[in-house]
């Protein structure tokens, strides 16, 4: 199939522990993305719920109905404007274990099409992410306009094996969501700016090494380590949003356009 094109809206907005405030941003940005003719809207990690241990002290199953109400509102909006949505949330597999840090893919028909659960949590057992979340265990792929897509979440950028796994699965476009923000100015200037450069540089390398597109969505919570961006298969950034400001970055990608790929001849052999 020739000229497989897709218009993606890579979004960022301020995130807090109030689901209704987050939802207000989400619904506005979905509308804006549709007005700009996007086929899919991509949001950051935990952008509906807030991040456990940062925006909310803990996650309780008693509050799950509020999360579900938010998802239902997003489903309704997706159906009304006929657009796909990737949104960051929490999901309970069972009441016996901690929830998953997840990305929902909501179809233009207003249905949850699939869900990706973060597989590599930051920290070790009993610390950081592990205090609030349980981990997923499988990659997720789906197709839009004949284009095979995958999803990753935040800390997973540190593991090139996950990008290569998606390459082996035939992924051509990867949606990766982060929550790397909320730093004070001192911490940003001494640590955050370096972390942001490292993340963006690694993502560019993984895009080029695996020859696929990557949409990277981050929070705009000041100070954010980096702004949302899109990388093409040769590792070059197509465009990015201003850091620390809510926004919608709309990019039309042509999957069949050819880019420089020095790894082409050796990649399959080494895979």
Which CATH number belongs to the domain containing residue 113 in this structure? 3.60.110.10
Looking at every residue in the chain, the average pLDDT score rounds to: 96
Please check whether residue 52 is in contact with residue 58, taking contact to mean a CB–CB distance below 8 angstroms. yes
- Burial 124-160, CB ≥16 within 10 A → b, else e: eeeeebeebbbebeebbebebeebbbbbbbbbbbeee
Please measure the distance between the N-terminal and C-terminal CA atoms of the chain and give it in whole angstroms: 25
3-class state of residue 69 by DSSP = helix
Residue 144, domain extent: 5-270
Tell me: pLDDT of 151 over 50.
Answer: yes
What is the average per-residue pLDDT within 70-76?
A: 98
Tell me: pLDDT of 225 over 50.
Answer: yes
Query: Beta partners for 10?
Result: 42, 249
| Confidence bin at 2 (pLDDT 50/70/90) | low
- Within 10 angstroms of residue 20's Cβ, the number of other Cβ atoms is 11
Q: What is the pTM of this model?
A: 0.97
| Confidence bin at 1 (pLDDT 50/70/90) | very low
Please check whether residue 169 is in contact with residue 148, taking contact to mean a CB–CB distance below 8 angstroms. yes
Q: How many independent structural domains does the chain possess?
A: 1
What is the average per-residue pLDDT within 120-129?
A: 92
- The percent of residues in the chain predicted with pLDDT above 70, rounded, is 99
Structure confidence by residue, pLDDT tens digits, 39-68: 999 999 999 999 999 999 888 877 789 999
């Amino acid at each position: 199939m020739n000229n497989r094109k897709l218009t993606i809206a890579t979004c960022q907005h301020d995130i807090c522990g109030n689901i209704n405030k987050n939802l207000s941003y989400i619904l506005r940005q979905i509308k804006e993305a549709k007005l700009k003719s996007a086929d899919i809207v991509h949001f950051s990690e935990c952008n509906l719920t807030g991040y456990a241990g940062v925006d909310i002290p803990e996650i309780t199953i008693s509050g799950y109905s509020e999360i579900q109400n938010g998802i239902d509102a997003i489903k309704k909006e997706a159906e009304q404007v006929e657009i796909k949505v990737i949104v960051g949330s929490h999901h309970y597999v069972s009441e016996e274990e901690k929830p998953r840090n997840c990305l929902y893919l909501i179809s233009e028909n207003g249905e949850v099409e699939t869900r990706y659960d973060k597989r590599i949590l930051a920290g070790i057992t009993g610390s950081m992410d592990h205090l609030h979340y349980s981990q997923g265990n499988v990659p997720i792929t789906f197709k839009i306009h004949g284009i095979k897509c995958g999803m990753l979440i935040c800390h997973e950028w540190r593991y090139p094996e996950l990008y290569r796994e998606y390459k082996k699965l035939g992924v051509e476009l990867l949606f990766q969501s982060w929550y790397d923000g909320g730093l004070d100015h001192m911490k940003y200037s001494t640590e955050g700016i370096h972390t942001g450069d490292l993340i963006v540089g690694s993502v560019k390398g993984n895009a080029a090494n695996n020859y696929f597109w990557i949409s990277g969505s981050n929070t705009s919570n000041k100070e954010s380590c980096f702004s949302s961006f899109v990388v093409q298969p040769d590792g070059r950034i197509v465009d990015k949003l201003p850091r620390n400001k809510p926004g919608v970055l709309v990019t039309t990608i042509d999957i069949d356009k050819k880019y420089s790929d020095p790894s082409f001849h050796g990649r399959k052999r080494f895979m």
